[in-house]
Amino acid sequence: VSGRTIRPDGTIEKFDGQVLDSILEKGSGLKYSAKTFTLPDVQPGCIIEYQYETLGKPNWVQGTSWILTEQIYTRDAQFTYTPYTGYGSGLRPMYNTYLLPSGTAPKEQANGTFVMTVHDIPGLVDEPLMPPRQPFEARVDFYYQDPDQPSAADPSDKYWNHYAKKWDGEVDHFVDKKGVLGQELSKIISPSDSAETKLRKIYTRTQQIRNLNEEDYRTEDERKGESIKENNNVEDVLSHGYGSGRDINFLFVGLARTAGFEADEVFVAPRNRELFLPKRNEVGQLQAQIVWVKADSKEYYLDPASRFFPFGILPWYETEVGGIRADKRGAVVVNTPEPQASDAGVVRTADLEVKADSSVAGNLTVEFTGQRAGLIREDERKADENGRTKYFEDEIKGWLPAGSTFEIKRISNWEDNSQPIHIEGAMEIPSFASSAAQRLLLPIEVFRSSMSAFAPEQRVNAVYFHYPYEETDDLKIRFPAGYKSEGLPPDRKIDLGAVSYTISATTVTDGVEVKRHLVEQGVVFPKENYPTLRRFFNAIKTDDAGQMVVANAESAKSN
């Protein structure tokens, strides 16, 4: 990498710093990283110039991508790609283009390289809660194709049928162990089980297989040292007790078919990176595998290889996405189900007491459910008990006012993904109430919701939630002896369909009970809806901060 900054006065500052590896995203054992560097003395009005070269591993056939769209406006850019010409060079170098300016395309040179020059590419503004960048980036993707593979120029049905039949054949070959599958199935299910119960038991069994894809990358020597062997069929998976994510999904398909269900492999385009367009005829769009199964006329989309997610819950990036089901007759274009708010929840239950020093302290129970729990288990899978404790304490303290404390007493259900992650602990908020003339004034809600994404008045991109979710709070706040409620904020209800919110406070024997429920049901909202969403979340912020007045009983009587 080399570069320079050209200041408005024409002087030049060369880049001589370090190039760093930065992790952009991680999950399910995979990490997506980028080479990053900082150009010196960048000021408004500067021109920045840089160039870089990437080299593939020797004797490896690797594609590449030219990303034209950056965060800032690009005046000029030039790209050169030299295809692989070593062993196996009979492979055809191919490319697909996306959102390129009119009249712009790579040009093959006499020496076999591809060259492209572009001008005036608008920047893509980064904002909180924005969609994945890739579907909106102008880019060129290079890849290689066997001469006997279908071409991107072929009709879409021919193109996808080729791959679907290939994938279906791979499944059939891998699960062709009926005796082994039958013996294993007899240990898992009972004849009296309902269809869904059988599927759930099969799902649970396959999730007991160690998923090598969710572990750190191993070199060939490390694999040999641990005696990791290749699985050639479902019998190998069962005897070894480990496998790739695809091996595990194959095992589920084999067991489900043996139990009498229709089951197929499905390739999907995960929406954290890609948008599936079948007519684009590019198999590289489909970067994740799940399974489809039909039982009692009901269709299920499942990902047994994602061991942190319970039956019926796909990881968010595999929900509401398109893909190809590998049916024996060919390709079936499918869409996975839309996620529901009830699939990802946080339930908070607190029993708190207002102290004489105006602090609030007591016990707090938190449950993370469904999608939310699966993502936490996935992200913290390498953490020990101390690491998990720190994670949850930091997470929960982030909901509380500055200076608050939270100490965990118990974490349960960590290993059982069919159950919510259950947290119990003690919390304290100093100076939560303010006092004056024998009265206490304190907020109706103790938890802070993150509304920073809706602080700006203007919005450039659509608003993109990874998944719908629910927040449910039930707080009992007990007052000091001799105090009682003198005034509570009115109940509040906002229902806009895709988003809704209710909060209410009710006087109880020795204090008040506050109930709050927030539901966000959508995933993508056009930027034209941003003003409405902004008003909604700002209204929540205001209502959460609503004040209740607590008076000393003797003072209230004298008044």
| Count of Cβ atoms closer than 10 Å to residue 126 Cβ | 10
User: So what's the pLDDT on residue 341?
Assistant: 96
Beta-strand (E) ranges in 99-172?
Answer: 107-108, 114-121, 139-145
Both tokens assigned to 522: 């959508």
Q: Which residues of 285-318 are buried (b: 16+ CB within 10 A; e: fewer)?
A: bbbbbbbbbebeeeebbbbbbbbbbbbbbbbbbb
User: So what's the pLDDT on residue 185?
Assistant: 96
Q: Would you call 512 helix, strand, or coil by DSSP?
A: strand
DSSP assignment of 229-297: ----SHHHHHHHSEE-HHHHHHHHHHHHHHTT-EEEEEEE--TTT----GGG--GGG--EEEEEEEETT
Both tokens assigned to 172: 């059939």
User: So what's the pLDDT on residue 88?
Assistant: 59
Strand (E) or helix (H) holding 95: strand 92-98
Residue 559, class by beta-carbon neighbours within 10 Å (0-12 exposed, 13-18 middle, 19+ buried)?
Answer: exposed
Residue closest to 374 by CA, chosen among 327, 317, 330, 335: 317
The residues that bridge with 66 in the sheet, in sequence order, are: 140
Both tokens assigned to 70: 């950056």
Q: Which pTM value belongs to this model?
A: 0.86
Both tokens assigned to 368: 């993370």
For the chain, the first-to-last Cα distance in angstroms comes to 76
Residue closest to 239 by CA, chosen among 170, 174, 184, 300: 184
Is the CB of residue 178 less than 8 Å from the CB of residue 258? Answer: yes
pLDDT, averaged per 10 consecutive residues of the chain (559 residues), comes to 91 87 60 78 90 80 86 92 74 85 90 92 91 89 80 84 95 96 96 96 97 76 75 96 96 97 96 88 90 95 96 96 93 96 96 90 97 95 94 95 94 96 96 81 86 90 95 94 87 95 93 95 95 95 90 63
User: So what's the pLDDT on residue 554?
Assistant: 64
Is the CB of residue 334 less than 8 Å from the CB of residue 325? Answer: yes
The residues that bridge with 31 in the sheet, in sequence order, are: 26
Which DSSP letter does residue 336 get? Answer: P
Both tokens assigned to 483: 């105090």
| Count of Cβ atoms closer than 10 Å to residue 481 Cβ | 9
Both tokens assigned to 395: 């997470």
User: So what's the pLDDT on residue 221?
Assistant: 66
- Scan for tokens 């030299």, then name that residue: 82
What are the CA-CA distances from residue 382 to residues 27, 213, 223, 379, 397 (Å)? 12, 14, 19, 8, 22
Both tokens assigned to 511: 């204090």
Strand (E) or helix (H) holding 534: helix 530-544
Both tokens assigned to 151: 């071409």
Q: Determine the Cα–Cα distance for residues 442 and 549; give it in Å rounded to an integer.
A: 7
Instruction: State how beta strands 2-6 and 12-14 pair.
Output: antiparallel
Q: How many CA atoms lie within 13 A of 540 on its CB side?
A: 26
DSSP assignment of 394-434: HHHHTTSPTT-EEEEEEEE-SS-TTS-EEEEEEEEETT-SE
| 3-state SS record for 428-496 | EECCCCEEECCEEEEECCCCCCCCHHHCCCCCCCCEECCCCEEEEEEEEEECCCCEEEEECCCCEEEEC
Taking CB atoms within 8 Å and a gap of at least 24, the contacts of 531-534 are 532/496, 533/454, 533/463, 533/499, 534/454, 534/457
| Count of Cβ atoms closer than 10 Å to residue 202 Cβ | 28
Q: Determine the Cα–Cα distance for residues 399 and 348; give it in Å rounded to an integer.
A: 11
